Amino acid sequence: MKAIVTGGAGFIGSHLVNALLDEKVEVVVLDDLSASDSGNEAVPQDVKLYQFDVKSADAYRAVIEEQPDMVFHLAAQADVTKSILAPVYDADVNIGGTINMLEASRTAGVKKFIFASTSAVYGNVLKVPITEDDATVPISFYGISKLSAERYIQLFHDLYELPYTILRYGNVYGPGQKPKGEGGVVAVFLERLKQKEPIIIHGDGSQSRDFIYVKDIVSANLAAMNQEQSGIFHASTGTSTSILDLAACFKKLNTSLDVKFTSGRAGDISHSCLCNEKAAARMGWKPTTDIYEGIKNTWHLT
Protein backbone atom coordinates (compact mmCIF):
# COMPACT_ATOMS: atom_id res chain seq x y z
CA MET A 1 0.00 0.00 0.00
CA LYS A 2 1.18 3.52 -0.79
CA ALA A 3 0.09 6.69 1.03
CA ILE A 4 0.75 10.37 0.42
CA VAL A 5 0.79 12.54 3.54
CA THR A 6 0.38 16.25 2.82
CA GLY A 7 1.93 18.25 5.63
CA GLY A 8 4.03 15.20 6.42
CA ALA A 9 6.93 17.29 7.75
CA GLY A 10 4.70 19.09 10.25
CA PHE A 11 3.88 18.32 13.88
CA ILE A 12 1.08 15.77 13.41
CA GLY A 13 2.17 14.72 9.94
CA SER A 14 5.65 13.65 11.00
CA HIS A 15 4.21 11.43 13.75
CA LEU A 16 1.79 9.92 11.21
CA VAL A 17 4.55 9.26 8.67
CA ASN A 18 6.58 7.30 11.23
CA ALA A 19 3.52 5.27 12.28
CA LEU A 20 2.69 4.43 8.66
CA LEU A 21 6.27 3.28 8.09
CA ASP A 22 5.94 1.03 11.15
CA GLU A 23 2.84 -0.43 9.47
CA LYS A 24 4.97 -1.20 6.37
CA VAL A 25 3.11 1.37 4.26
CA GLU A 26 5.09 3.03 1.46
CA VAL A 27 4.96 6.73 2.34
CA VAL A 28 5.41 9.83 0.19
CA VAL A 29 5.43 13.29 1.80
CA LEU A 30 4.10 16.41 0.11
CA ASP A 31 5.06 19.51 2.11
CA ASP A 32 6.36 22.98 1.27
CA LEU A 33 8.30 22.91 4.59
CA SER A 34 6.97 26.36 5.55
CA ALA A 35 5.91 25.08 8.98
CA SER A 36 8.99 22.97 9.65
CA ASP A 37 11.90 24.49 11.56
CA SER A 38 14.13 21.53 10.66
CA GLY A 39 13.27 21.60 6.94
CA ASN A 40 13.58 18.32 5.07
CA GLU A 41 15.31 16.77 8.10
CA ALA A 42 11.81 16.29 9.50
CA VAL A 43 11.22 13.68 6.78
CA PRO A 44 12.90 10.26 7.16
CA GLN A 45 15.72 9.70 4.68
CA ASP A 46 14.04 6.74 2.99
CA VAL A 47 10.80 8.70 2.36
CA LYS A 48 10.34 10.58 -0.91
CA LEU A 49 9.62 14.28 -0.37
CA TYR A 50 7.89 16.61 -2.82
CA GLN A 51 8.60 20.14 -1.60
CA PHE A 52 5.56 21.79 -3.17
CA ASP A 53 2.79 24.12 -2.07
CA VAL A 54 -0.38 22.06 -1.68
CA LYS A 55 -2.24 24.56 -3.90
CA SER A 56 0.20 24.21 -6.79
CA ALA A 57 0.08 22.41 -10.11
CA ASP A 58 3.31 20.67 -9.06
CA ALA A 59 1.53 19.16 -6.04
CA TYR A 60 -1.31 18.02 -8.29
CA ARG A 61 1.13 16.34 -10.67
CA ALA A 62 2.97 14.66 -7.78
CA VAL A 63 -0.21 12.85 -6.73
CA ILE A 64 -0.88 11.77 -10.33
CA GLU A 65 2.69 10.52 -10.69
CA GLU A 66 2.71 8.57 -7.43
CA GLN A 67 -0.73 6.93 -7.84
CA PRO A 68 -1.22 6.41 -4.07
CA ASP A 69 -3.87 4.19 -2.52
CA MET A 70 -4.47 6.70 0.30
CA VAL A 71 -4.13 10.45 0.69
CA PHE A 72 -3.87 11.83 4.22
CA HIS A 73 -4.52 15.55 3.78
CA LEU A 74 -3.04 17.29 6.82
CA ALA A 75 -1.43 20.34 5.16
CA ALA A 76 -3.26 23.46 6.33
CA GLN A 77 -3.17 27.01 7.58
CA ALA A 78 -4.02 26.09 11.18
CA ASP A 79 -3.58 29.35 13.09
CA VAL A 80 -6.92 30.88 14.18
CA THR A 81 -5.41 34.32 14.80
CA LYS A 82 -3.64 34.30 11.42
CA SER A 83 -6.92 33.36 9.73
CA ILE A 84 -8.54 36.50 11.14
CA LEU A 85 -5.62 38.68 10.03
CA ALA A 86 -5.31 37.05 6.58
CA PRO A 87 -8.62 35.40 5.59
CA VAL A 88 -7.77 35.24 1.88
CA TYR A 89 -4.58 33.30 2.51
CA ASP A 90 -6.41 31.03 4.96
CA ALA A 91 -9.04 30.21 2.34
CA ASP A 92 -6.45 29.73 -0.41
CA VAL A 93 -4.62 27.07 1.60
CA ASN A 94 -7.47 25.33 3.38
CA ILE A 95 -10.09 25.42 0.64
CA GLY A 96 -8.03 25.82 -2.54
CA GLY A 97 -5.37 23.36 -1.39
CA THR A 98 -7.99 20.77 -0.49
CA ILE A 99 -9.76 21.11 -3.84
CA ASN A 100 -6.41 20.68 -5.61
CA MET A 101 -5.72 17.47 -3.68
CA LEU A 102 -9.26 16.20 -4.25
CA GLU A 103 -8.98 16.75 -8.01
CA ALA A 104 -5.63 14.97 -8.07
CA SER A 105 -6.97 12.11 -5.93
CA ARG A 106 -9.98 11.65 -8.21
CA THR A 107 -7.80 11.60 -11.31
CA ALA A 108 -5.29 9.21 -9.73
CA GLY A 109 -7.99 6.78 -8.59
CA VAL A 110 -7.20 7.15 -4.87
CA LYS A 111 -9.07 4.59 -2.78
CA LYS A 112 -9.45 6.80 0.31
CA PHE A 113 -9.11 10.51 1.12
CA ILE A 114 -8.53 11.10 4.85
CA PHE A 115 -8.89 14.71 5.99
CA ALA A 116 -7.70 16.45 9.13
CA SER A 117 -10.52 18.74 10.23
CA THR A 118 -11.13 20.52 13.52
CA SER A 119 -13.48 21.20 16.41
CA ALA A 120 -13.39 24.85 15.25
CA VAL A 121 -16.12 24.03 12.72
CA TYR A 122 -18.66 24.05 15.57
CA GLY A 123 -17.94 27.50 16.97
CA ASN A 124 -19.50 28.19 20.37
CA VAL A 125 -22.03 25.37 20.42
CA LEU A 126 -23.57 25.45 23.91
CA LYS A 127 -23.49 21.69 24.38
CA VAL A 128 -21.12 19.25 26.08
CA PRO A 129 -20.16 16.93 24.54
CA ILE A 130 -20.72 17.85 20.90
CA THR A 131 -21.70 15.10 18.44
CA GLU A 132 -21.01 14.93 14.72
CA ASP A 133 -24.68 15.81 14.03
CA ASP A 134 -24.64 19.11 15.95
CA ALA A 135 -24.81 22.48 14.20
CA THR A 136 -21.62 23.87 12.67
CA VAL A 137 -21.41 27.65 13.22
CA PRO A 138 -17.72 28.67 13.02
CA ILE A 139 -16.61 31.92 14.67
CA SER A 140 -13.23 32.15 12.91
CA PHE A 141 -12.21 32.14 9.25
CA TYR A 142 -10.13 29.06 10.05
CA GLY A 143 -13.28 27.22 11.16
CA ILE A 144 -15.14 28.38 8.05
CA SER A 145 -12.37 27.29 5.68
CA LYS A 146 -12.08 23.83 7.23
CA LEU A 147 -15.85 23.37 7.15
CA SER A 148 -15.92 24.47 3.50
CA ALA A 149 -13.19 21.93 2.73
CA GLU A 150 -15.33 19.24 4.36
CA ARG A 151 -18.24 20.16 2.09
CA TYR A 152 -16.04 19.85 -1.00
CA ILE A 153 -14.88 16.44 0.16
CA GLN A 154 -18.46 15.26 0.62
CA LEU A 155 -19.48 16.57 -2.80
CA PHE A 156 -16.51 14.86 -4.47
CA HIS A 157 -17.81 11.67 -2.89
CA ASP A 158 -21.36 12.29 -4.11
CA LEU A 159 -20.34 13.26 -7.65
CA TYR A 160 -17.26 11.08 -8.24
CA GLU A 161 -17.55 8.34 -5.60
CA LEU A 162 -14.25 9.29 -3.95
CA PRO A 163 -14.28 7.51 -0.55
CA TYR A 164 -13.36 9.69 2.43
CA THR A 165 -13.00 9.91 6.17
CA ILE A 166 -13.15 13.32 7.82
CA LEU A 167 -11.59 13.39 11.29
CA ARG A 168 -12.53 16.40 13.39
CA TYR A 169 -9.66 16.71 15.83
CA GLY A 170 -9.83 17.93 19.39
CA ASN A 171 -6.96 20.16 20.58
CA VAL A 172 -3.88 18.15 19.64
CA TYR A 173 -0.66 18.35 21.65
CA GLY A 174 2.52 16.33 22.00
CA PRO A 175 6.27 16.15 21.28
CA GLY A 176 7.43 18.29 18.36
CA GLN A 177 4.68 20.89 18.53
CA LYS A 178 5.96 24.45 18.21
CA PRO A 179 4.90 27.10 20.75
CA LYS A 180 4.19 29.60 17.97
CA GLY A 181 1.96 29.94 14.94
CA GLU A 182 -0.52 27.07 15.03
CA GLY A 183 1.00 25.73 18.25
CA GLY A 184 -1.57 24.94 20.93
CA VAL A 185 -1.72 26.10 24.52
CA VAL A 186 0.11 23.01 25.81
CA ALA A 187 3.15 23.79 23.64
CA VAL A 188 3.05 27.43 24.73
CA PHE A 189 2.83 26.47 28.41
CA LEU A 190 5.68 23.97 28.04
CA GLU A 191 7.90 26.59 26.45
CA ARG A 192 7.27 28.97 29.34
CA LEU A 193 7.93 26.18 31.82
CA LYS A 194 11.23 25.44 30.06
CA GLN A 195 12.16 29.14 30.15
CA LYS A 196 11.11 29.35 33.84
CA GLU A 197 8.60 32.06 32.99
CA PRO A 198 5.00 32.46 34.27
CA ILE A 199 2.16 30.78 32.39
CA ILE A 200 -0.08 33.37 30.72
CA ILE A 201 -3.81 32.56 30.60
CA HIS A 202 -6.03 34.51 28.19
CA GLY A 203 -9.34 35.31 29.84
CA ASP A 204 -10.32 33.87 33.23
CA GLY A 205 -9.19 30.30 32.49
CA SER A 206 -12.69 28.83 32.65
CA GLN A 207 -12.65 28.15 28.90
CA SER A 208 -12.27 24.44 28.21
CA ARG A 209 -10.95 22.17 25.49
CA ASP A 210 -10.81 18.51 24.52
CA PHE A 211 -7.04 17.95 24.63
CA ILE A 212 -5.84 14.88 22.76
CA TYR A 213 -2.31 13.44 22.61
CA VAL A 214 -0.76 13.25 19.14
CA LYS A 215 -0.20 9.48 19.34
CA ASP A 216 -3.96 9.05 19.75
CA ILE A 217 -4.59 11.26 16.71
CA VAL A 218 -2.19 9.07 14.73
CA SER A 219 -4.01 5.90 15.80
CA ALA A 220 -7.31 7.48 14.67
CA ASN A 221 -5.81 8.09 11.22
CA LEU A 222 -4.61 4.49 11.03
CA ALA A 223 -8.09 3.29 12.01
CA ALA A 224 -9.56 5.49 9.26
CA MET A 225 -7.60 3.55 6.63
CA ASN A 226 -9.76 0.51 7.34
CA GLN A 227 -13.05 2.39 7.67
CA GLU A 228 -15.14 1.23 4.71
CA GLN A 229 -18.06 3.65 5.01
CA SER A 230 -17.34 7.31 4.26
CA GLY A 231 -18.21 9.75 7.02
CA ILE A 232 -17.27 12.29 9.68
CA PHE A 233 -15.78 11.18 13.00
CA HIS A 234 -14.40 12.88 16.09
CA ALA A 235 -10.78 12.17 16.98
CA SER A 236 -11.12 13.29 20.58
CA THR A 237 -11.09 12.18 24.21
CA GLY A 238 -14.66 13.16 25.05
CA THR A 239 -13.26 14.84 28.18
CA SER A 240 -13.41 18.57 28.87
CA THR A 241 -10.40 20.21 30.53
CA SER A 242 -10.42 23.88 31.53
CA ILE A 243 -7.32 26.03 31.05
CA LEU A 244 -7.15 26.36 34.85
CA ASP A 245 -7.14 22.57 35.16
CA LEU A 246 -4.45 22.42 32.48
CA ALA A 247 -2.34 24.91 34.45
CA ALA A 248 -2.77 22.70 37.52
CA CYS A 249 -1.24 19.78 35.57
CA PHE A 250 1.77 21.94 34.81
CA LYS A 251 2.14 22.91 38.45
CA LYS A 252 2.56 19.19 39.18
CA LEU A 253 5.66 19.32 36.99
CA ASN A 254 6.92 22.48 38.74
CA THR A 255 5.22 23.48 42.00
CA SER A 256 6.83 26.95 41.93
CA LEU A 257 5.30 27.77 38.52
CA ASP A 258 3.54 31.16 38.47
CA VAL A 259 0.27 31.86 36.61
CA LYS A 260 -0.78 35.25 35.22
CA PHE A 261 -3.94 36.37 33.44
CA THR A 262 -4.46 38.63 30.45
CA SER A 263 -7.32 39.59 28.10
CA GLY A 264 -9.11 37.03 25.91
CA ARG A 265 -8.48 36.66 22.16
CA ALA A 266 -10.81 37.20 19.20
CA GLY A 267 -12.00 34.01 17.54
CA ASP A 268 -11.33 31.81 20.58
CA ILE A 269 -14.06 29.31 21.44
CA SER A 270 -15.28 29.28 25.04
CA HIS A 271 -15.88 25.54 25.39
CA SER A 272 -15.22 22.53 23.20
CA CYS A 273 -15.63 18.84 24.00
CA LEU A 274 -16.22 16.25 21.29
CA CYS A 275 -18.08 12.97 21.84
CA ASN A 276 -16.02 10.09 20.41
CA GLU A 277 -18.66 7.32 20.62
CA LYS A 278 -19.20 7.20 16.85
CA ALA A 279 -15.48 6.62 16.22
CA ALA A 280 -15.45 3.90 18.88
CA ALA A 281 -18.48 2.15 17.39
CA ARG A 282 -17.68 2.49 13.68
CA MET A 283 -13.86 2.51 13.60
CA GLY A 284 -13.07 0.57 16.76
CA TRP A 285 -10.92 3.47 17.93
CA LYS A 286 -10.44 5.01 21.37
CA PRO A 287 -7.73 7.28 22.80
CA THR A 288 -5.48 5.79 25.48
CA THR A 289 -3.58 8.77 26.95
CA ASP A 290 -4.97 10.97 29.72
CA ILE A 291 -4.08 14.65 29.94
CA TYR A 292 -1.48 14.51 32.72
CA GLU A 293 0.25 11.45 31.26
CA GLY A 294 0.35 13.16 27.85
CA ILE A 295 1.76 16.40 29.23
CA LYS A 296 4.39 14.51 31.24
CA ASN A 297 5.38 12.50 28.15
CA THR A 298 5.58 15.64 26.06
CA TRP A 299 7.73 17.39 28.68
CA HIS A 300 10.19 14.49 28.86
CA LEU A 301 10.39 14.16 25.06
CA THR A 302 10.72 17.89 24.33
Residue numbers of the domain that contains 140: 2-172+211-236
Q: Do 115 and 161 reside in the same domain of the chain? A: yes
Q: Do 225 and 257 reside in the same domain of the chain? A: no
Q: Do 161 and 219 reside in the same domain of the chain? A: yes
Q: Do 71 and 152 reside in the same domain of the chain? A: yes
Q: Do 196 and 156 reside in the same domain of the chain? A: no
Per the structure, the count of domains in the chain is: 2
Q: Do 150 and 123 reside in the same domain of the chain? A: yes
**pLDDT average, residue stretch 176-205:** 86
Q: Do 83 and 190 reside in the same domain of the chain? A: no
Q: What digits encode the pLDDT tens for the residues 201-249?
A: 988 999 999 999 999 999 999 999 988 899 999 999 999 999 999 999 9
Q: Give the count of beta carbons closer than 10 Å to the beta carbon of residue 176.
A: 18
Q: What digits encode the pLDDT tens for the residues 109-154?
A: 999 999 999 999 999 888 889 999 999 999 999 999 999 999 999 9
Q: What digits encode the pLDDT tens for the residues 60-101?
A: 999 999 999 999 999 999 988 899 999 999 999 999 999 999
Is residue 116 in a domain? yes
Q: Do 82 and 153 reside in the same domain of the chain? A: yes
Is residue 284 in a domain? no
Is 142 a known active-site residue?
yes
Q: Do 144 and 260 reside in the same domain of the chain? A: no
Output the domain CATH number for residue 266: 3.90.25.10
Q: Do 193 and 75 reside in the same domain of the chain? A: no
Q: Do 107 and 78 reside in the same domain of the chain? A: yes
Q: Do 186 and 262 reside in the same domain of the chain? A: yes
Q: What pLDDT is recorded for position 37?
A: 66
Say if pTM beats, i.e. exceeds, 0.85: yes
Output the domain CATH number for residue 111: 3.40.50.720
Is pLDDT above 80 for 302?
A: no
* Cβ within 8 Å of residue 222, ≥6 positions away: 19, 20, 23
Catalytic residue, from 50, 60, 142, 173: name it.
142
- Which amino acid does the sequence have at 119? S
